Structure 1
């Protein structure tokens, strides 16, 4: 496995976020080139306080260190909120590999924080329910939500740039992201110093949202597959974020920006932690290819897709608990 050699570029987004003349257009052009290749990039100059991802990594270590009975009391239900034990996810919907074995990780899912009496909760809207907070970790909620808020804000600031990368005006997709679906997934990967065939910390897959933000982990493990079939590791630069395109951006682009397969192999002799933040459209958004990506040579390749339907199908197929006894939460 070689180094990325520029296939996964490091981009300073500071000038674009500061509104420097021409900076957003230049960044959009560089993002477009990368999205048409590996679909992975590394962002510097983002302005996120380093204490926020550090606090979230600490929170992840704390929640996974809880006794099993306390974690299982917070186990996910219908909407995948809370704790997911090791062995509970097999990526059957993977479009890049035949996956038969469960991932070697345990996870904790956090969504937008709805109180129990929120109208959306009382109306039982799809994918809306209160988070499941561990009662013995009072600082956990604050650390997770602070990081969640910072990442959602950064994603919204970058949405116009990714829209420009598609060749559309900056505000074109804003209507599909008025109430975006955001998920913070805390993950602990078990060590695999001698990986067995077909077993991964996270099996080869593509992300199914719009774009994903991944704070740099202390230990390596993430690998990205190029179109040539080579597996690369993104540049490991402390304080930066690895960002990858996902399936909905691919659909908006009419296949121009194909999401890149990636996997996790934790060949370290220690637990590995990750805190990916998934940014997706509104549940009621209907995803269609944008006009700039539809031509006579590349006619519309995707039918309109209600994002809520897309999420429901993924949950039904990839998680063991949904194939047993669904329960809200």
Structure 2
């Protein structure tokens, strides 16, 4: 592997240039680097990804404009029974599920790739309650919001699909191993708006409490000049993930860790508050790449299970986690 293919940030979250992923030798080197990262911290940063800067800039512009609307206009597309949209968090959202913490200091807007399907089509996505069965609630302002989000969501799905092929190579599988498991994926796109903190947080209150992601793969773009994302190293050491201009942060979720029989790790992460006196806002937009709702997930042939993992139905497993999260 060429030394310039991978550089390391703080020795824990590697920065990987994936611009060579169209080349045979380049893909093998990238898969090796990605596999090492997924086994170590479960996090890596990608540059050279090919996503147009213009699309990213447009996505951020319309999303910031939405969150700066008056509350009444945001409430028009609020999350409610049968509909996914704007959330003004009023309860714990820390996804570790085991801790009682104050509400996270953020607002959010989320949609699913399935949310514009008909009600009949969405009802077929599992015989249980799941977020991807909800209709998307799209704001009318900004006018370019829906089209921009659709374009960005498609781009993230394409990037994630190729990352999954690199995952397969890293796991000594055929490159297309995961393709059919994500052919009808139920992924979601969420914007987290960390509003200015004009009052002191409560003890233990963060912009986003410590949590792991539930699904397969997360691709996150964070503002170039702002940070706050931290990844747990060991049992008690939090490491900053720097905001590198033009990069995406990638991490695996609990389901992917299960898929590898514990060979790869889904790591706790959080978003800390800004320094005292800093009242700037922050925006991050994660894309959660989730398998088909009926995909069977079990430890892969190339992995020796280390955690006693049993097969699960992807959609049902994630839905149960999500139901517990939003009931806290």
CA distance in 1, matches of 2:174, 2:123: 37
1:205 paired with 2:211, answer yes
Note if contact 1:189-1:266 (Cα within 8 Å) is conserved in structure 2: no
Is the contact between residue 266 and residue 272 of structure 1 (CA under 8 Å) also seen in structure 2?
no
Task: Say which SS state the counterpart of residue 14 (structure 1) adopts.
Answer: coil
Cα distance change, pair 225–4 in 1 and its aligned pair in 2 (3 A): farther
Q: CA deviation at 1:88?
A: 4.1
Quick one: distance in 2 between partners of 1:124 and 1:300?
29
2:290 to 280, 285, 295: 280
> What is the aligned length?
312
Give the aligned partner of residue 25 of structure 1: 28
| TM-score relative to the length of structure 2 | 0.87
Alignment root-mean-square deviation, CA = 2.3
Q: How does 1:23-172 map to 2 (within 5 A)?
A: 23-78=26-81, 81-91=84-94, 93-94=95-96, 98-112=99-113, 114-115=115-116, 117=118, 119-121=120-122, 126=130, 127-172=132-177
Q: Could you list the runs of 4 or more consecutive aligned residues of structure 1 that deviate by over 6 angstroms after TM superposition?
A: none
Q: Structure 2 vs 1, CA of residues 48 and 282 (structure 1 numbering), >3 Å: closer, same or farther?
A: same
Contact 1:116 1:129 (8 Å CA) reproduced: no
Residue 308 of structure 1, aligned match among 315, 324, 328: 315
Structure having greater relative contact order (Cα 8 Å, sep ≥ 6): 1
> 205-214 vs 216-225, which deviates more?
216-225
Of stretches 233-242 and 41-50 in structure 1, the one that deviates more from structure 2 is: 233-242
Q: TM-score, normalised by structure 1?
A: 0.87
> What are the superposed Cα offsets for residues 288-319 of structure 1, whole Å, 9 maximum, x if unpaired?
1101112xxx4662111112212321232222
Distance 2:82 2:210 in 1: 23
Provide, for residues 238-287 of structure 1, a one-character-per-residue CA deviation record: whole Å limited to 9, x for no partner: 11111111111101110111111100013142111111111111111111
Supply the distance in 1 between the matched residues of 2:247 and 2:11 (Cα, whole angstroms): 16
Give secondary structure in 2 for the equivalent of 1:224.
strand
| Alpha carbons 1:116, 1:122 under 8 Å: kept | no
Distance of 1:262 and 1:299 partners within structure 2: 23
Structure 1: which 5+ runs fail to align? 324-329
Q: Deviations over 1:17-54 (max 9, x none)?
A: x2x23211111111111111111111011100011121
The alpha carbon displacement at 1:236 in A equals: 2.2
Cα offset, 1:55, TM superposition: 1.4
Contiguous gaps of at least 5 residues in structure 2? 1-7
Query: For the Cα contact (< 8 Å) 1:4–1:232, is it kept in 2?
Result: no
Aligned to 2:270: 263
* Cα displacement (A) at 1:68: 1.4
Kindly indicate which of the two structures has a greater share of residues assigned to strand.
Answer: 2
